[in-house]
Amino acid sequence: MNLGFLPNPDPAQKHGWLERARKLTPKLRHRTLRPVCEVRMVADPASFQGWRVEPCAEAEAAPARVIEPGGAVVVDFGQHLVGRLRLRAGTDQGVAGAPLRLRFLFGEVPAEIAEANGPLEAGQCLSWNWRQEETVTLDVLPAELRLSRRYAFRYVKIEVVDRSPYARGARLSEIRCATENAVPLQLPPSPTGLPPDLQQIDAVSLRTLRDCMQTVFEDGPKRDRRLWLGDLRLQALASAGTYNQLPLVERCLCLFAGLARDDGTVMACLYEKPAPVAGADFILDYAMLFAPTLMDYLDAGGDLGLAREFWPLALRQLHRPLTCVDEHGRFQVDATCWNFIDWHDSLDRQVSMHGVLLYCLARTVALGERLGCRAELAGLHACRDRLTTAARAAFLDPADGLLRSGPARQVSWASHAWGALGGILTTAEAAAAFRRLPAVPEALRPAGPYLYHYVLEAMFGCGLDAEAVALLRYYWGGMVRDGADTFWEVYDPAQPKLSPYNNYLINSYCHAWSCTPAYFFRRYAKAFA
Amino acid sequence: MNLGFLPNPDPAQKHGWLERARKLTPKLRHRTLRPVCEVRMVADPASFQGWRVEPCAEAEAAPARVIEPGGAVVVDFGQHLVGRLRLRAGTDQGVAGAPLRLRFLFGEVPAEIAEANGPLEAGQCLSWNWRQEETVTLDVLPAELRLSRRYAFRYVKIEVVDRSPYARGARLSEIRCATENAVPLQLPPSPTGLPPDLQQIDAVSLRTLRDCMQTVFEDGPKRDRRLWLGDLRLQALASAGTYNQLPLVERCLCLFAGLARDDGTVMACLYEKPAPVAGADFILDYAMLFAPTLMDYLDAGGDLGLAREFWPLALRQLHRPLTCVDEHGRFQVDATCWNFIDWHDSLDRQVSMHGVLLYCLARTVALGERLGCRAELAGLHACRDRLTTAARAAFLDPADGLLRSGPARQVSWASHAWGALGGILTTAEAAAAFRRLPAVPEALRPAGPYLYHYVLEAMFGCGLDAEAVALLRYYWGGMVRDGADTFWEVYDPAQPKLSPYNNYLINSYCHAWSCTPAYFFRRYAKAFA
C-alpha cells in the first residue's frame, strides 16, 4: 500500500509531550475508612471459586482484638478500595518483650484470603509476587504501623505470626485504610430510570473505573498497575459522562506519544516510575487503536491542537498492520508480534485483526477530516475499500452469512464483532449474523470482558439493542451475582477459576477493561430505560 | 534483721532521674561499611555448630550480582556489626515488570545463615521473631532499599524470592551497612605486652562491648536489646579503662533508679522505647548488685552527689534478700522470684545466693562509708558477721574444705565463686578449694559466661592468678577458637548447640555479660604480662 506517512516525532517534541504529561499528574485524593465487619471465608461449592463470605462480628465491637500466635482476623471494608493500611498494635504486657511479627494478606475476592497458601500452579507465567502480602516485624510496642505499599482490596487478613510468650496476646486496633484515587470515593449517579439490577452493575462498573484511576488509568490496581493502550481506550469512554477525567486521558495520550519509539511505534503499555518508560510489549491491535482513542478524546472535548500534534503518530500506527496485508488484500496474522483481540488460546485472529484494521482506518479517516489533515486521506479511503472488498470475498460465507477465519474457517464472536465494527458486514448482515451465532455450537464465544465490550458495541451498532442488553445482563450481571465488587480481568461463568496465568489467585479482580457497562448505560441510554 | 532502711524515693525524685537519663542519651555514631567477601556455609562436623565459612568471591568483583528466583548471595562484613542494611536493586529489564521480593537473613554465626529454615524446637521459650529476618517487596525498580530495622550480624543472606519472569534476574549492588554504636567502630588498644592470643581475646571482648553499647548498655544487640542490671555491672567494669563511657553508666543507673517500684524494688531489666519502662522481671541477685554497681561507678570517677541520692535505694535492695535469711542465719532460696546466679537447671543456689548477699552487704558498707552515710552501717556490720558465721557452720565441710549447698549438699563452682567473694571462705580457704575443685567430678561447673566472670574474679581475689589466666584462655579462648567474632551469651565447649531457650538459633552471639576479659586484662594486668 502506498500511503503518505508523515515524519515521526522528534526527541524535542516527545520531551514536550512528557513534560505536558508531568504537569497533568493528578493530585490523589484520600479518605480514611474503617472496616465494616469481621468475616470468615467458608468453603461453599455453590459460591464463586468455592468460597462464601460470612460476617462474624461487628468491626471494633471491642476496643482491640487480642490475637494469639497463629491466629488471625479477617476484616471486610465493605467495598473494593485502593489505599494504604494502618493500625495500632500493642500487647497486654504493655511493652514488646520480643518483636511482634504480623502477616498481612489482602484480597479483592474471598479466595485470595481463604487460600492463604494457594498452590503455585505449573506454568504460571506471572510472578507470585503479585499476591498482595506483607510480613512486618515491630520492635517497639505499642506502635502505629503504616504499611508503606499500596494495595487493592476489600478484605484484609491480619495474622499474628508470633510474639513474646510473655505478652499474652497481640492487641490490634484502629485498623484503617487511607484510600488513594484520582477521583472522589463517592460514585457518580446512575442514569435516571435505569432498572435496579443495572444500577447495581453501573455501581460496580464505576467502582472499577474509580479504583483504576490513579496517576494514570491503571489496568488493575492490584496487577499490573500500569497503563495499557487498549484499556485506556475503554476507560476513557467510561470516564466521559461519569468522572469526566479528560485531563487524565490527555496525560495518558501524552505519555504514549512521548514514549513512542524512534520508528514511531506506540508501545502497548508504559510505566510511570521511577521515570516514565515504555514497556517491552507491542500489541498490533492496541497500537492501531491510538487513532480511535484520540478521536474519542476529541469527542469528549479534547484539545484539537494537541490532537493535531499527534496526527502523524496516529497515522503511523497503520504502517505495520498494512504490511500484514497480502497481495489479495487479506490481513495475515503477524506472528512476530502480539495480536491480542481476546485472551483465547485457540482463537483464529485473521478476520478480527482484519476488522480492527478496517475500523481503525475508518476512525483515522474521520480523525483526519476533523483535524483538517485531508492530504493523507485519499490513500486511506482507497485502502479501506480494497480491504473491505477483499474481506467479503475471502471471509464471508454466502451460505449462512457468517465470517470464517483462517485456514480452519473458524467461526467466532470475535470475527463478527470486529467484522461488524470494521464494516466488512453491512448493518443488516451483522444483525443477522449476531442473531444466528448463539445457535452455532462451534462458534467461539468471547473469553473475557475486553472482547465482550466490542461485541456489545457491534450489537448496538447494528440495532440489536435488546440482545445487547441481555448479553450485558448475562455477562456483567453474572459477575455481580458471583459477588463482584469491582469487575474482573477474566470471567467465564462456566470456569470460575480460569486464569490466563495458570493461577487465578493472581488474576486482577478490579480491571479497567471490564468497566464499560457505565459507558453503555449512558451511550445507549434508551436501550436500557 | 533490724536494719534502719530509709524512705523510698518519691515520684518527683524518680522523675528527676529519668530526666537526667534522658539528657545523657548518647548520640549514636555511624559508619558505612561494605562487605569484604561473598561466602558460603559448608557443613563440617569439625566446625562450631557444624558449619564452616568458606569465602567464594570477592565482594563487588562485578558491578552487580544477578540472582535468579530461589537463588541467594551471602555476604560477610568481616566482623560483627550493629546497624542498618541498604542496597540497590534493579533488573536487567530496567523496570520492575512485577514486584521484586527479597528475603534477608542476618547471622551473628554461620548456623543462623546455614539453617535458614531451622526447626522450631519443642519447648522453645522465647519468640522465634528474634530470628533476624525480613521480607521486602519492591514495586518500583531500580530502587535504593534501606531496611528500617537495626540488625546485629556479620553475615547477610539475600535471597530473591521471585521477580518478574521477564526481568531476567534481579541485580543487587552496593550492599552496605550503616553501623550504629555509642562509641567509634575502631577498638581501643590492648594493654602493652599482652600475648597475641590474649590480644585476640581482648579484641573480641572489646567488639562485644562496643556492639552492646547503644543508647543503653544492651545485653545483646540481637536479643534482648535491653538493659539488664546484672549485665550492666559487667559492662561498666569493662568500659572503665577502655571506652570509658561513664555517662552511659550514669544514664543506665538513673534509668534503673527512676523506674524503681514504689516499694523501692529495682527491677532486673528495662525498656527504653516508646518511653522508659521497667520490665516485669525481678532477679534477687541482680537487685542486690545495685550497690556494688554504684560503688564501681564511683571508683570510675562517678558523681558522688548522684550516688548519695541513690543511697537509700541501694540500701533498700537488701531488704528482700534479708527476709530470706532463716532463724539460723542461713539464706533460703526465694522460690517466689528469680535467683539467677547462672543458666543451670540443676544448680542449688543456696550457698551462692548467701554469698551474693554477703558480698553485697560488704560493698554496701563500703559505699556507705565512701558516701559518709554511716548511720545505717552498724546494723549491716552485725548482719554480715552473723551471716558469715552461720554460713561457715552450715555450708563449709571441714573434711575437705569445700562448700556444700542445699539438702543434697551439692558442690559447685558457683558456691565457691560467691562463697569466696562474699567472704564465707578466707582467701587461703578459697584458694585451696579452687585448687581442689577440678578434681571433684561431681562439682557442678559454670554453664555460662556470667558465672565464669565471678569465678575468675574470685580466683584472682585469692591469688590464683595463673589458674585464672588458664581458665580465661580455656573458656573465652575456646569461643575464639570456635570462630567467635564477639563473645556469646551461652558457651559450653562440650555442647555447641546448648541453649537456655531450646533453640540455639535464637541465642545471642554478642552478649554483654561475656565481655569482661577486657576488664581482667587491665584490672589484673600483671597476671597476663
Read off the pLDDT of each residue in B477-481 and give the average, rounded to a whole number. Answer: 98
Q: What is the pLDDT of residues B226-263, one digit of tens each?
A: 999 999 999 999 999 999 999 999 999 999 999 999 99
Pairing of strands B100-107, B151-162: antiparallel
**Residue B76 and residue B146: Cα distance in Å, rounded?**
18
Pairing of strands A143-146, A65-67: unpaired
Q: What is the pLDDT of residues A116-170, one digit of tens each?
A: 655 565 566 788 899 999 999 999 999 999 999 999 999 999 999 988 888 777 8
CA distances for B263 relative to A341, B8, B364, angstroms: 79, 7, 19
Residue the block writes with cell 451498532: A461
Q: What is the pLDDT of residues A283-324, one digit of tens each?
A: 999 999 999 999 999 999 999 999 999 999 999 999 999 999
Would residue B5 count as lying in a domain?
A: no
Would residue B6 count as lying in a domain?
A: no
Pairing of strands B37-43, A277-278: unpaired
Q: How far is B395 from chain A (nearest CA, A)?
A: 37
Q: What is the pLDDT of residues A440-483, one digit of tens each?
A: 999 999 999 999 999 999 999 999 999 999 999 999 999 999 99
Determine the pLDDT at residue A126: 87
Cross-chain residue pair B271–A100, CB shorter than 8 Å: no
Helices B413-421 & B377-395 angle (0-180, nearest 10): 150
Q: Closest partner residue to B163 among A96, A100, A127, by Cβ?
A: A127
Q: Quick check: B146 contacting A, CB < 8 Å?
A: no
**Residue A348 and residue A443: Cα distance in Å, rounded?**
11
CATH number of residue B292's parent domain: 1.50.10.10
Q: Quick check: B123 contacting A, CB < 8 Å?
A: no
Cross-chain residue pair A127–B94, CB shorter than 8 Å: no
Chain B residues 336-355 with CB within 8 Å of chain A:
none
Q: Are residues B97 and B119 in the same domain?
A: yes
- Which residues in chain A have Cβ-Cβ distances shorter than 8 Å to B143? 274
**Residue A165 and residue A69: Cα distance in Å, rounded?**
9
Omega before residue A274 within 30° of 0, cis? yes
Would residue B99 count as lying in a domain?
A: yes
Give the distance between the most distant pair of CA atoms in chain B. Answer: 82
Q: Quick check: B465 contacting A, CB < 8 Å?
A: no
Q: Closest partner residue to B273 among A100, A130, A140, by Cβ?
A: A140
The answer to whether residues A351 and A403 touch, using CB atoms and an 8 Å cutoff, is yes
- Type of residue found at A454: Y
Q: Quick check: A389 contacting B, CB < 8 Å?
A: no
Instruction: Dump the DSSP string for A448-513.
Output: SHHHHHHHHHHHHHTT-HHHHHHHHHHHHHHHHHTT-SS--S---TT-TT--TTS-GGGS-SS-GG
Of A144, A179, A214, the last residue of a domain is A179
Q: Are residues B354 and B420 in the same domain?
A: yes
Q: Are residues A240 and A289 in the same domain?
A: yes
Read off the pLDDT of each residue in B23-38 and give the average, rounded to a whole number. Answer: 97
Would residue A349 count as lying in a domain?
A: yes
Determine the pLDDT at residue A481: 97
Q: Closest partner residue to B128 among A93, A95, A162, by Cβ?
A: A162
Determine the pLDDT at residue B109: 98
CA distances for A196 relative to A189, A329, A526, angstroms: 13, 48, 16
Between B503 and A474, the higher pLDDT residue: A474
Q: Are residues B48 and B197 in the same domain?
A: no
Domain count, chain B: 2
**Residue A245 and residue A260: Cα distance in Å, rounded?**
23
Residue the block writes with cell 560493698: B363
Query: Chain B: residue nearest A166 by CA?
Result: B126
**Residue B239 and residue A223: Cα distance in Å, rounded?**
55
Determine the pLDDT at residue A164: 87
Q: Are residues B243 and B221 in the same domain?
A: yes
CA angle at A362 for the pair A359 and A368, rounded to the nearest 5°:
140
Cross-chain residue pair B127–A94, CB shorter than 8 Å: no
Q: Three cell numbers at A66?
A: 487480642
Omega before residue A142 within 30° of 0, cis? yes
Is the per-residue pLDDT at B349 higher than 70? Answer: yes
Q: Quick check: B93 contacting A, CB < 8 Å?
A: yes
- Which residues in chain B have Cβ-Cβ distances shorter than 8 Å to A165? 125-127
CA distances for A96 relative to A91, A354, B223, B276, B338, angstroms: 7, 66, 12, 12, 21
Chain B interface mutation, best of A82, A84, A92, A95, highest count of B Cβ atoms under 10 Å: A95
Element (H, E) at B51: strand B51-58
Q: Are residues A412 and A486 in the same domain?
A: yes
The answer to whether residues B349 and B405 touch, using CB atoms and an 8 Å cutoff, is yes
Q: Closest partner residue to B134 among A137, A140, A143, by Cβ?
A: A137
Res. A337 pLDDT band, cuts 50 70 90 = very high
Of B149, B179, B209, the last residue of a domain is B179
If you count residue pairs, one on A and one on B, with CB atoms under 8 Å apart, how many are there? Answer: 85
Query: Chain B: residue nearest A501 by CA?
Result: B165
Give the distance between the most distant pair of CA atoms in chain A. Answer: 82
Would residue B384 count as lying in a domain?
A: yes
Residue the block writes with cell 514514549: A259
Is the per-residue pLDDT at A83 higher than 90? Answer: yes
CA distances for B28 relative to B132, B221, B402, angstroms: 21, 14, 48
Determine the pLDDT at residue A168: 75
Instruction: Dump the DSSP string for B88-106.
Output: EEEETTSS-SS-EEEEEEE
Residue the block writes with cell 500466635: A69
Cross-chain residue pair B93–A280, CB shorter than 8 Å: yes
Strand partners, B82: B152
Q: What is the pLDDT of residues A127-141, one digit of tens each?
A: 889 999 999 999 999
The answer to whether residues B285 and B230 touch, using CB atoms and an 8 Å cutoff, is yes
Chain A interface mutation, best of B84, B129, B166, B224, highest count of A Cβ atoms under 10 Å: B129
Number of H helices, E strands in chain A: 17, 15
Cross-chain residue pair A271–B95, CB shorter than 8 Å: yes
Residue B263: helix, strand or coil by DSSP?
Answer: coil
**Residue A288 and residue A321: Cα distance in Å, rounded?**
8
Q: B213: which DSSP letter?
A: B
Is the per-residue pLDDT at A93 higher than 80? Answer: no
Of B126, B154, B179, the last residue of a domain is B179
**Domain of A366?**
11-27+198-528
Left, alpha or beta for B156 (phi > 0: left; psi -120 to 50: alpha)? beta
Determine the pLDDT at residue A120: 60
**A52 CB contacts (<8 Å, ≥6 apart)?**
A41, A42, A43, A44, A46, A110
The answer to whether residues B390 and B328 touch, using CB atoms and an 8 Å cutoff, is yes
Would residue B1 count as lying in a domain?
A: no
**Residue A138 and residue A318: Cα distance in Å, rounded?**
56
The answer to whether residues A37 and A76 touch, using CB atoms and an 8 Å cutoff, is yes
- Which residues in chain B have Cβ-Cβ distances shorter than 8 Å to A98? 126-127, 129-130, 224
Q: Are residues B135 and B43 in the same domain?
A: yes
Helices A229-239 & A449-461 angle (0-180, nearest 10): 50
Q: Sign of the CA dihedral B13, B15, B21, B23?
A: negative
**Residue B338 and residue B354: Cα distance in Å, rounded?**
14
Kindly report the average pLDDT of chain B as a whole number. 95
Q: How far is A440 from chain B (nearest CA, A)?
A: 39
Q: Are residues A140 and A221 in the same domain?
A: no
Kindly report the average pLDDT of chain A as a whole number. 95
Q: How far is B360 from chain A (nearest CA, A)?
A: 29
Determine the pLDDT at residue B304: 98
Strand partners, A38: A57, A75
Question: Beta-carbon neighbour count of residue B263 at 10 Å?
Answer: 9
Q: Are residues B173 and B38 in the same domain?
A: yes
Phi, psi of B518 (to 5 degrees): -60, -35
Q: Are residues A115 and A226 in the same domain?
A: no
**Residue A277 and residue A258: Cα distance in Å, rounded?**
9
- Which residues in chain B have Cβ-Cβ distances shorter than 8 Å to A220? none
Q: Sign of the CA dihedral B403, B406, B410, B412?
A: negative
Read off the pLDDT of each residue in A66-81 and give the average, rounded to a whole number. Answer: 93
Q: How far is A128 from chain B (nearest CA, A)?
A: 7
Left, alpha or beta for A301 (phi > 0: left; psi -120 to 50: alpha)? left
Cross-chain residue pair A98–B130, CB shorter than 8 Å: yes
Question: Beta-carbon neighbour count of residue A428 at 10 Å?
Answer: 11
Would residue B3 count as lying in a domain?
A: no
Q: Are residues A255 and A165 in the same domain?
A: no
Q: What's the pTM?
A: 0.95
Q: Are residues A417 and A478 in the same domain?
A: yes
Q: B283: which DSSP letter?
A: B
Is the per-residue pLDDT at B184 higher than 60? Answer: yes
CATH number of residue A78's parent domain: 2.60.120
**Residue A236 and residue A244: Cα distance in Å, rounded?**
9
Q: How far is B500 from chain A (nearest CA, A)?
A: 15
Whether the predicted interface score ipTM is above 0.90: yes
Q: What is the pLDDT of residues A359-395, one digit of tens each?
A: 999 999 999 999 999 888 989 999 999 999 999 999 9
Find the Cα–Cα–Cα–Cα dihedral A374, A378, A381, A383, rounded to 10°.
Answer: -130
**Residue A166 and residue B338: Cα distance in Å, rounded?**
15
Q: Quick check: B225 contacting A, CB < 8 Å?
A: yes
Would residue B311 count as lying in a domain?
A: yes
